[in-house]
Structure 1
Amino acid sequence: MTNDDRTRVVLADDDQLLRYTLGALLTLDGTISVVGEAADGAEAATVVARERPDVLVIDLEMPETDGMHAVEAILRDLPEQRILMLTRHARPGVLRRALKAGVRGFMSKSADPELIGDVIHRLHEGGRWIDHEILEASMIDDSPLTDRELDALRETQEGYAVKQIAARLHLAPGTVRNYLSSAMQKTHTTSRQDAARAARARGWL
């Protein structure tokens, strides 16, 4: 197999040892080529824009710009980019958000590297893959929060004030306050920050 035939991959994970180990294992059979690496979400977006890989393999939990924010930004600019998201925690809200953004693959970081390689090829060929355990977790969805309430809580979690949230979500400030108030009632909390923390702890965000 020539270099041109290999599936070109960018690996994004803040754990340098994991990047090195996974990269070495994925390239063993000569069908995958790692063309770039990134240690956080912002760097991942930069490397993807430069390398245009066949598949981006990205960790969900990273410092600074996390994997979810990174893939949302990447898919806005490159909607056809194939992305495999790896995570240790299968929160239902995260899976829904990833699929909504356009992520085509979602699996556990503890998966066998050989399976990860198979999934990379599947995504490159236009397929999809969601780990069975993660899919099961996504079906156990007891969230009482609406999509808009979740949107407002996500922005709160990022530290934005009500007026900023309103601008980012293209809503009136009063509407945002109503969403946040409703979310506080549903999570039995007394502040929007506590509501965001409670929603994240329960796997809704």
Structure 2
Amino acid sequence: MKLLLAEDQTMVRNALAALLRLEGDYDVHEVADGQQAQQALQHQPYDVVLTDIEMPNLTGLELLQWSKQHAPATKVVVITTFHRSGYIQRAIQAGADGFILKDAPIEELLQSLQQVLQGQRVIANALLLQSLDHHDPLTERERKALRLAADGHSTAAIATALFIAEGTARNCLSEAMSKLHASNRIEAARIAQRNGWL
């Protein structure tokens, strides 16, 4: 199996790659973030992308969305330490072929990879149930605006980054704050982050 492993924590990535090479017939190519994975996918085909969620430059969820459009033959399995319902919902909606927790035994990961390669979708039952607990109230634009706000960008900078008018950016942040019952944009971003909606 030709596998692309995207994980920004070097020790975790190296250990996981070594385990995969030891346990089975895996040709593992390692990259440090979603952007590097995107570049690798543009240069050669892979059977499976195994990606973390929280990475710099391009998150695992953004990589998943991009892969489904630009490399549809490649299966995408999300691996994470987070049990956040928002992450699970968004990964499922974006068409993830698998969603596995990092604390699962290596045998479970290997079995899941094989099942995914055979065309099955593998998402742990506990995670599926948890994903039904909290509905993600944010639109994609609100999510992007909050992410930029959390990084300290002004309303004007957010408007520029999202190619919208400043008033629209202000309304967008206000709507997100209202939906999350937050008193300010930073609190709204914190609530969204905690639930995996960012």
TM-score range, shorter chain: 0.7 to 0.9
Aligned length: 191
Retained in 1: the 8 A contact 2:6–2:13? yes
Task: Return the match for 1:39 from 32, 35, 38.
Answer: 32
Q: 2:143 aligns with which of 145, 148, 153?
A: 153
- Which consecutive unaligned segments of at least 5 residues does structure 1 have? 1-6
Counterpart position of 1:4:
none
Letter in 2 for 1:153: R
Deviation at 1:193, TM superposition (A): 3.9
Q: Distance in 1 between matches of 2:127 and 2:141?
A: 22
Task: Call closer, same or farther: CA 1:65–1:114 in 2, change over 3 Å.
Answer: same
Distance 2:24 2:129 in 1: 33
Aligned AA (1:198): I
Give secondary structure in 1 for the equivalent of 2:22. Answer: coil
Contact 1:156–1:165 (CA under 8 A) maintained in structure 2: no
| AA of the residue aligned to 2:174 | S
Matches within 5 A, 1:1-205: 7-34=1-28, 36-141=29-134, 145=137, 147-148=138-139, 151-158=141-148, 159=153, 161-162=158-159, 164-165=161-162, 167=164, 177-205=170-198
Would the aligned equivalents of 2:145 and 2:169 in 1 still touch at CA under 8 Å? Answer: no
CA distance in 1, matches of 2:42, 2:187: 36
| Structure 2 counterpart SS, 1:107 | strand
User: Compared with structure 1, are the counterparts of its residues 89 and 24 closer, same or farther at alpha carbon in structure 2 (3 Å cutoff)?
Assistant: same
Using structure 2 for the length normalisation, give the TM-score: 0.82
Q: CA deviation at 1:163?
A: 5.1
User: Could you tell me how far apart the structure 1 residues matched to 2:144 and 2:130 are?
Assistant: 20
Aligned mates of 1:131, 1:26 — CA distance in 2: 20
The residue type equivalent to 2:145 in the other structure is E
8 Å CA contact retained: 1:104, 1:129? yes
Matches of 1:199 and 1:142 in 2, distance apart? 11
CA contact (8 A) 2:81 2:102 kept: yes
The Cα of 1:42 is off from its aligned counterpart by 0.8
Summarize the Cα distance change of 1:17–1:184 in structure 2 as closer, same or farther, 3 Å threshold: closer
* Aligned-partner residue type, residue 162 of structure 1: A
1:190–1:29 Cα change, 3 Å: closer
Shift of 1:72: 2.2
| Unmatched 5+ stretches in structure 2 | none
Deviation at 1:203, TM superposition (A): 3.7
Percent same amino acid at aligned positions? 31
Q: Do the aligned partners of residues 42 and 89 (structure 1) sit closer, same or farther apart at CA in structure 2, a change above 3 Å counting? A: same
SS of structure 1 residue aligned to 2:2: strand
Shift in Å at residue 52 of structure 1? 1.2
Cα RMSD (Å): 2.5
Report the Cα offset of residue 198 of structure 1: 2.0
